[in-house]
A = this chain, B = another copy of it.
Amino acid sequence: MLNNLEKFKCMKRDTAEINLDPLQRGGILTPEARAALIEWGDGYSICDFCAGVLDRIKNPPVEEFVHSVLPKFLGADAVRVMHGAREGKFAAMHALCEKGDWVVIDGNAHYTTVLAAERAGLKIEYVPSSGAPDYAIPAEGYSEAIERAYEHKGNVSMAVLTYPDGNYGNLADVKAVADVCHDFGVPLLLNGAYSVGRMPVNARDLGVDMIVASGHKSMAASGPVGLLGASEEYARTIFRLSATKKNKEVEMLGCTVRGAPLLTLMASFPAVVERISHWPEEVNKARWFAAEMEKLGLIQQGERPHNHDLIFFLAENLYEISQTAKKGRYFLYRDLSERGICGIKPGLTRQFKLSTFGLSRDQLGRVLNAFDEIIRSYAKA
């Protein structure tokens, strides 16, 4: 009945030398994480010396990592390791909001914020962005959205800000958003999937009540793994203990990431802390790259000057080429592939996003040359 299973035995990852996909840039493993993956690969290996609570395991030093290192790193009173940012958002919403409540979400939010709210039975009021070309999220938009929800007689029990968003790489004014939300008594959750592990982010300094991070997106960890941090006030409810099962946290279903992904997060952590100190150079590189792309006729969207490695481009010139190119709208994907570059979704030409994170100026130069060559080659023809 079960035939042809051979194909599952040896699956190769066929990817190009330079991968520009924003999803991929921050999750490339360090050598230490790669070693941890091998050492701790077996099923439930981390549980060898567990006395019943994953985040209290002393060997490997999970307890120190979760209860001492991460709270300092995130600026949160309590932190737990989650399966990812989305699972962190759902856990916070499920614990803190009642079905039928309203949650206020920035218009640039990742789709998983919407799904987390939908799964928790919440209604959504959006804070619209300013639209093209900046797509900025204004702090006052939060007060307007909260007031709109109130007009529906809604109870607004949480607000979420995506920092940066995953389309334009915009870093909104978190402190101002937090102030607005707090004026209404609404706690603010910061989605740091594209920031924590790339740039300095401190929940306490930014004034946010909760924060989620992504290990596979931005902390050089093997997915799925992420973080949920909260201030004492909200941590009490989110990380509440079971009424009947001693020491087990209900919202975490006891233990969350009981395997190798957690070990890769820990093993990469020293290198992640180090790389965050080079963030200004990452921003400079992104700005330089965006400026060079504009010289080739593309137009950068989102904040200018840009403050993040995730960059969105409009490319009317590439779209025009796609109208007559032999391979149609797939020409860009294929022409970049031939030059050892991937990460822009197949079929996209008129607008796309990419990330410069962790790529050297030499590598980015190769990308710029590739775009230049491709554009010139069709101009000739």
Mark A residues whose CB is within 8 Å of B: 1-2, 5-15, 19, 21, 23-24, 26-29, 32-45, 47-48, 59-61, 64-65, 69, 72-73, 83-84, 86-87, 90, 94, 99, 111-112, 114-116, 118-119, 215-217, 220-225, 242-245, 248, 250-251, 253-254, 256-261, 263-264, 266-267, 269-270, 273, 342
The complex places the Cα of A215 from the Cα of B73 at a distance, in Å, of 32
B86, A269: Cβ atoms closer than 8 Å? no
> Given that A5-B69, A248-B115, A250-B118 are known contacts, is A45 also in contact with B61, CB under 8 Å in the complex?
no
CB distance from A328 to the nearest CB of B (A): 17
CB distance from A206 to the nearest CB of B (A): 16
The complex places the Cα of A114 from the Cα of B1 at a distance, in Å, of 36
Given A11-B40, A24-B47, 18 other A-B contacts at CB below 8 A? A8-B32, A8-B266, A11-B263, A13-B39, A13-B48, A24-B43, A34-B38, A37-B37, A37-B41, A41-B264, A43-B220, A44-B217, A115-B245, A118-B250, A119-B250, A119-B253, A224-B256, A260-B261
Interface pairs A-B: 9 shortest CB-CB? A27-B43, A223-B259, A43-B216, A5-B270, A11-B60, A86-B253, A8-B266, A23-B44, A111-B245
Residues in B neighbouring A7, C-beta threshold 8 A? 61, 64
> Given that A2-B72, A43-B26 are known contacts, is A119 also in contact with B37, CB under 8 Å in the complex?
no
CB distance from A13 to the nearest CB of B (A): 5
The complex places the Cα of A119 from the Cα of B94 at a distance, in Å, of 9
B43, A28: Cβ atoms closer than 8 Å? yes
Q: Which residue of B lies closest to A49 (CB)?
A: B346
The complex places the Cα of A261 from the Cα of B43 at a distance, in Å, of 9
Residues in B neighbouring A27, C-beta threshold 8 A? 42-45
A248, B8: Cβ atoms closer than 8 Å? no
Q: Copy number in this complex?
A: 2
B223, A115: Cβ atoms closer than 8 Å? no
Residues in B neighbouring A243, C-beta threshold 8 A? 118
CB distance from A82 to the nearest CB of B (A): 10
A261, B261: Cβ atoms closer than 8 Å? yes
Instruction: Show 8 A/B contacts (Cβ-Cβ < 8 Å), sorted by A.
Output: A5-B273, A9-B267, A13-B39, A15-B48, A21-B47, A38-B38, A224-B257, A224-B258
B10, A32: Cβ atoms closer than 8 Å? yes
B87, A253: Cβ atoms closer than 8 Å? yes
Residues in B neighbouring A259, C-beta threshold 8 A? 216, 222-225, 261
B73, A2: Cβ atoms closer than 8 Å? yes
A23, B2: Cβ atoms closer than 8 Å? no
Residues in B neighbouring A99, C-beta threshold 8 A? 99
Residues in B neighbouring A5, C-beta threshold 8 A? 69, 269-270, 273
> Given that A24-B43, A37-B37, A39-B11 are known contacts, is A258 also in contact with B73, CB under 8 Å in the complex?
no
